Amino acid sequence: MSPPETAAADWINRPDALQAWLAAIPADAAVGLDTEFMRRNTFYPQLALLQLGWNGRHALIDPLAFDIGAALQPLLGADGAMTIMHSAGEDLETLAPLLPEGPGRLFDTQIAAAFAGMGLGLSYRALVAELTGVDLDKGETRSDWLQRPLTESQRAYATLDVVYLKTLHERLAERLQRRDRSAWHAEDCARLKQRASRRDGDPQPQRALRGAADWPVAQQALLRRLLLWRERSARRLDVPRPWLLDDALALNLAQQPPRSLGDLEQRGRGQRALRSAQRGELFELLAAAVGDEEIAATARIPGHPQGEAKKALAAMKTLIDHRADELDLPPGLLCPRKVLEEYVVTAEWPDFLDGWRREVLHDRLPGLLPG
C-alpha cells in the first residue's frame, strides 16, 4: 500500500471567498463532496464542515462562519453538475437545510462499488485502497468537528475524504458502463436522495416494532399515534427520539395507557427530554379514544414469518441468492432479507422492489408466496 498524497485545501470562512472558489467550476462539472457533522444530543445532525474537490483543487468550507447554502444551490442543486459522494445517506440528511432536494445529480461511490461487484457497504478507505492502492489514515474519525480552530491533522483528514472521489468516480463509472449497470445505479442514487429529503419521517413508524404485530388493530393505531407524536416532538425540540420516548416505553404505554399523570411520570423516568409539558401532551394523547378513521389509516404491523410463510421465505431467499449470482450483485443489494420477510407476510409488493428490481424479480417472486 502507498501513503496518501499530500493535498492542500483552501480554508473558506467568508461568502465572497466561497463565491470566488465556485465561480471557476463549470456547470457540468463532476464535484467531490463530503461533510463532517456532529449528532450527539440533537435530532438534526449539526453540519460542522463541508469539503469540496474539483480538478485537483480542494476546499474546506466553514458553515459555522456564514450561511453557505445560497452559494451551493446554483451549482450542486442544478441538474448539470454531478456530485460525487461516498455513502451519502447521512450527508444528504445533514445537507437537507441547504439542498432541500439534494444534489441535482448524485454519484454514490459506495452504491457504485456494489453494482460493480465489489461488495456491499464498502468503506471509503477500503474502496480507495482497492482502486488506487493508497492506505488512508482514519485517526480523526471521532474528532470534535465543531471545535475551532481545527487542527492540522483534522484538516488533512477532511481533505483526503474528497481527494480520491474523482478517481473513484471515473473508475467505477467505467465498470458500471461495462456491466450495463449505470441506469440501475442512477435509480438507486435518486431513491437515496428522495429518502433523505423526506421532511416528516415515516408515516407508518409502528411497522418497525414487530413485537406488536399480534396486537389488536386499535392498539396498533394507538402505537402509531404515539410514535408520530414522538417524531413531531423530537423534530420540534431538536432532541434524539429515545430522549422523549424509547421504543420499549412506547410499546408499554400503548399496551397499558397510564392511569394518571403521576403514573406516566413514574414510568417515564429516565427519558431525558420527557418533561412536564411533554408528559401533559402525551397523557392527553393516550387518553383520547381510537376511532375507526384512525384504525383505517394505520398499516398493519407485519409479523415474523411462521409455518408456510417461513418455508416460502426460505424459497424466496434461495431465489434471491441465485438471481444475485446471475447478475453478479450482492444479494443484499438486490433484496434485503427484511424486505422479503415483509413481502411474504403481507403479500404486498414492497416499494423497495420497484424500478429495476421489479424487472428482474416480479416474474418469479409472487409465485413463491404461501397459498
Cα 279 to Cα 42, 260, 268, 274, 347: the distances in Å are 20, 11, 9, 6, 39
User: Given CA atoms 336, 339, 344, 350 in this order, what sign does their dihedral have?
Assistant: negative
Peptide bond into 149 cis (omega under 30): yes
Q: What is the pLDDT of residue 221?
A: 98
**DSSP secondary structure letter of residue 77:** S
Average pLDDT, the chain: 95
Angular region, 180: left φ>0, alpha ψ -120 to 50, beta rest: left
pLDDT tier at 3, thresholds 50, 70, 90 = low
Select from 320, 327, 365 the least CA-distant residue to 181: 327
| Tens digit of each residue's pLDDT (9 = 90 or more) over 79-90 | 999 999 999 999
Q: Is the pLDDT of residue 269 over 80?
A: yes
CATH level 3 topology of 205-296: DNA polymerase; domain 1 (1.10.150)
User: What single string gives the DSSP state of each residue in 9-20?
Assistant: -EEE-SHHHHHH
Amino acid at 49: L
Between CA 203 and CA 197 the distance in angstroms is 14
Cα 202 to Cα 56, 178, 226, 235, 326: the distances in Å are 40, 37, 13, 13, 34
pTM value surpassing 0.75: yes
CATH level 3 topology of 10-196: Nucleotidyltransferase; domain 5 (3.30.420)
Q: What is the pLDDT of residue 294?
A: 98
| Tens digit of each residue's pLDDT (9 = 90 or more) over 278-323 | 999 999 999 999 999 999 999 999 999 999 999 999 999 999 999 9
